[in-house]
Amino acid sequence: MSLSIDEQVALLMQGTEYGDETLRRTMEAELRERLQEGRPLRVYLGVDPRTSDLHLGHTVPLRKLRQFQDLGHEAILVIGTFTALVGDPSDQLRGRALMSPEEVEANARTYAEQAFRVLDPQRTIIRYNAEWLSKLTFADLIRLASHFTVQQFLARESFAERLKSGDPIFLHETFYPLMQGYDAVALQADVQIGGTDQLFNIVVAGRKLQEAFGQRPQVAILLPLLPGTDGVRKMSKSLGNHIPLNTTPEDMFGKIMSIPDEAMLIYFKLITRYPPPRIAAVEEGLRSGSLHPRDVKMELAREIVSIFFGEEAAERAEAHFRIVFQERAFPEEMPVFSLSGPRALVDLLVAAGLAASRSEARRLIRQGGVRLDGETVSDVEAVVAVDRPKVLQVGRRRFLRLVPGGDA
């Protein structure tokens, strides 16, 4: 990828968020300065394998690392086999449960496999921070801790809220920023990528420790948390608003089509491969009315699905969506219900709130008021299974999108 320095800066700063304009300008200036040196930068992203199932929200920093990778920089994915034992307290209002090394190792294997759906595996360096963190002595820990005050830690939002409410703050949680900060030292990093919740760990801890060890402080590339399918809360499996990577192209396409229109631009900026000028054109088209939001969202869904499944799968998913949700006049937005396995239709109607009781569910079925993908279901003993998104309809106006996965 051959871009001017200005184009590179625009691309790499696209979608970033710092919560402070002065800090943003400082990071942009430092990034520009290092790019002008004309050498490959050492860019890393640290991930803690506390889960084995990734969703689109997890891919936001991976996409940014891929952008650096495509520009010829050294892309390092650090699997936090040691930091995951503690767990990052940055956005937590309660202490995380400690994980066993065995759990971390198992998750780490699947995490790397899924990360390569965004990163180029041939150009990605995988490192495990147990390599250096496990070798630190207690004397080393004292040295690291001497660069910070207790007040700095307690001023963090998550700790301040817990202190205010009387919830416990465990001492081992304060080790986490020191551990992550030392990752930057061990790697002699030029750039670290992370979410906005990582500001303290990257900007305060990482940069300060690098300076303490005589290194040039890293540039922080901070990215906002991707909103889920509700368009408001951060994407999370526990909130049920996530779009998993391990799903079908049709399911991913349908879920992207369900996000609110106002969330589209942040998805374009954080998930797609689009450069800034192309995203600016989409934004201007939506603002002026020359582009219809439905068509833009179809373009978004096609782009994202093609990233993870390829162009042919994206085309099939789009065709499926058009047949199921448009040609049959189904609404584009409807509640989503996940099925982990086959379920009796009567029970499903009750569980989804489409019938007040099993007897009412049976009555609706017998009267021909229940349809699955447009086809009337008349068997009260019917069992529903989904290997792709399907639409369950009760009456004329009540619709439910059924998707494969864990129960909603």
Residue with token string 């300065």: 33
> Which of 123, 119, 114, 82 lies closest to 101 in space, CA to CA?
82
CA-CA-CA-CA torsion sign (119, 121, 122, 126): positive
Alpha carbon separation from 75 to 94, 127, 168, 390 (Å, rounded):
33, 11, 38, 40
Strand 343-344 versus strand 398-404 pairing type: unpaired
The DSSP 8-state label assigned to residue 226 in this structure reads P
The C-alpha torsion from 97 through 99 and 100 to 105, rounded to 10°, is 170
| 223 in Cβ contact with 16 (< 8 Å) | yes
Q: Copy the structure tokens of residue 133.
A: 């963190």
Q: What residues are paired with 336 via a beta bridge?
A: 401
Which residues are registered as beta bridge partners of 392? 372, 400
CA–CA gap between residue 208 and residue 388 (Å, rounded): 49
Beta pairing class for 398-404 and 336-339: parallel
Cβ atoms of residues 50 and 80 within 8 Å: no
Say how far apart CA 254 and CA 399 lie, in whole Å: 14
The DSSP line for 71-95 is: TT-EEEEEE-TTGGGT---TT-SSP
Distance CA 46, CA 236 (A): 19
Q: Where are the alpha helices (DSSP H) in 121-263?
A: 130-133, 138-145, 150-154, 157-165, 175-187, 199, 207-212, 249-257
Is residue 255 marked as binding? Answer: no
HSE-up (13 A, CA, CB side) for residue 103: 12
Residues contributing to the annotated binding site: 237
Residues contributing to the annotated binding site for ATP: 237
